[in-house]
Amino acid sequence: MTVSNRSTPKEQLMIAIAPEVAKIEEAMQRDLQTATSGCDPLLVAVLEYGVFNGGKRLRPLLVLLAARLASHAGDKIVDLAIAFEYLHAATLFHDDVIDRADIRRGKPSVNKAFGEIAAILGGDFLHSRSLFLIGSLGGPEALGIFCQATNAMVDGEFLQLRNAENYNLSEDDYFSAVKGKTALLIAATCEIGALAGGATREKQKVLAEYGLGLGTAFQIIDDLLDYQGDPALTGKAVGNDFQEGKMTLPLILALGGASPEDRKRLLFLLEKDEARESGFAEAYAVIDKNEGFALSRSRAESIIAAAVAGLEFFSEEGNMDTIAILRALAEYVLVRKK
């Protein structure tokens, strides 16, 4: 990376990925214009509002980087890459309806700004467009990988519904839900990028593993931020998961290692609906004392370390810039504040 050593790692990363992110934004502008040509102006407004909302574009970026490691960087790849951002946006449209969330990235959510009907239908439009792009540009193999990931997302949501208020949830149960809900789609970005770039099956699998680790760690940090984040940065209040009885990793690991008294107290705070809100500060202290936060972070760190180690498979002269970005992305996941 030809960037100054004086900037922070995050700044260096942002500079390194800026050209790809610009390509992604431009491709989405162009493609949405084509896809919505002749459509109702309200539909166009809903899609533009929901898609151009300051997202990090992590998913399409990974497609481009994986394709680059496979030594191909044709123009068609970016149109394939944006399918993942559409799908991600479609998921957020529907998630915010399901959660009745009013705010997304510090702005009114699509359902808040345009109503529930617009959010459901707009999500369906983007979902359909994403599959169209994957199927027509990536071929049947890419479509198969993509749909396996989208179906796993739905299944992961059902698993999470089932897991809610199951206070005996194991670490394995948590990781199964995270895999379906988040990580498999990130793995699919890398796998499909590699496939489209002409990589061998072995290389595709190695990159999919990197994506799986990145996605899993991403979700662990997300769940940590729900306890420890700065609302001014994350744009949402802390304590939502606990107050909804969601069994995320800090709680699971704290319960696993707690003394009988601490365990009893945590379960009491969780089981009483009234206690959950007022008891968040106390629960936080008990989780902290039992190393729920520290252990969760350490799980994320090990997963990221393994993901980064896998990249060595690609260590050849022409790949070093791309590997540096993938490594920086993985490290950024651990330190992100929002």
Q: Which residues bind its own copies (CB under 8 A)?
A: 35, 39-40, 42-43, 94, 97-98, 116-118, 120-122, 124-125, 127-129, 131-132, 134-136, 140, 143-144, 147, 150-151, 154-155, 157-159, 161-162
> Which residue stretches of the chain are H helix?
9-35, 41-51, 58-69, 76-98, 110-114, 116-133, 139-163, 171-178, 184-196, 201-228, 231-234, 240-243, 249-257, 260-271, 273-278, 280-289, 292-310, 320-335
Please identify, using beta-carbon distances, which residue of 88 and 203 lies nearer to its own copies: 88
**329: left (phi > 0), else alpha (psi -120 to 50), else beta?**
alpha
Please identify, using beta-carbon distances, which residue of 144 and 235 lies nearer to its own copies: 144
Please identify, using beta-carbon distances, which residue of 162 and 272 lies nearer to its own copies: 162
Least separation in angstroms between CB 147 and its own copies: 4
Least separation in angstroms between CB 62 and its own copies: 20
Which of 308, 305, 296 is closest to 221 using CA atoms? 296
Which of 250, 251, 228 is closest to 238 using CA atoms? 228
Please identify, using beta-carbon distances, which residue of 33 and 151 lies nearer to its own copies: 151
Least separation in angstroms between CB 153 and its own copies: 8
Answer for the pair 204, 285: CB distance below 8 angstroms, yes or no: no
Please identify, using beta-carbon distances, which residue of 123 and 229 lies nearer to its own copies: 123
Least separation in angstroms between CB 43 and its own copies: 4
The DSSP symbol for 137 reads I
Least separation in angstroms between CB 122 and its own copies: 8
Please identify, using beta-carbon distances, which residue of 100 and 337 lies nearer to its own copies: 100
**Residues recorded for the chain:** 338
Least separation in angstroms between CB 78 and its own copies: 18
Q: Considering only CA atoms, give the Rg of the chain.
A: 20
The DSSP symbol for 319 reads G
Residues 6+ apart with CB under 8 A from 299: 220, 249, 253
DSSP string, 57-88: -HHHHHHHHHHHHTT---THHHHHHHHHHHHH
Least separation in angstroms between CB 247 and its own copies: 16
Please identify, using beta-carbon distances, which residue of 158 and 268 lies nearer to its own copies: 158
